[in-house]
Amino acid sequence: MRVGWPFFAVVLCACSGPAAPDVEVCRDAVHRLCLPEPCALVTPLFPVGKSCESELLAASGCARDDFAFKSPDRTRFLSCRVALLRAGGDRETHPSCEDVAESFERCPDVVRFYQGKP
């Protein structure tokens, strides 16, 4: 019986790997938001004529390799990111603008985080 439970645990966990670092989670979210063409709600977050991704990464601090979530914390950020994954889990899948709007509406703190505002 002792052998049985690890087997089940392995099967259950077979679909996911280790936890990704905070910086990778943050960069993944920014990358998805900035996939061209960015939604209308995303455009105001960075200056006109600048690169969306580089501006948001810089403003949020995710450009630094030692980035770690403080406010919002990792759990909060992940819950707000869920809507962006609805269109697909692949990193290059553009989220629908409705999902982006829902995420921004539910998580104004995360929107401020992208803009570098506390």
Nearer to other proteins, 81 or 114 (CB): 81
CA–CA separation, 9 vs 92, rounded Å?
30
* Least distance between other proteins and beta carbon 23 (Å): 11
Nearer to other proteins, 39 or 84 (CB): 84
* Least distance between other proteins and beta carbon 4 (Å): 8
Please report how many Cα atoms fall inside a 13 Å half-sphere around the Cα of residue 8, on the Cβ side. 5
Could you tell me which of 6, 5, 39, 14 has the C-alpha nearest to residue 111?
39
* Least distance between other proteins and beta carbon 118 (Å): 23
* Least distance between other proteins and beta carbon 40 (Å): 25
Residue ranges in contact with other proteins by CB under 8 A: 1, 4, 7, 10-11, 13-20, 24-25, 28, 74, 78, 81-82, 85, 89-91
**CA-to-CA separations, 3 to 8, 9, 10, 117, in angstroms, rounded:** 9, 11, 11, 51
Nearer to other proteins, 15 or 48 (CB): 15
Tokens of 111: 């929107």
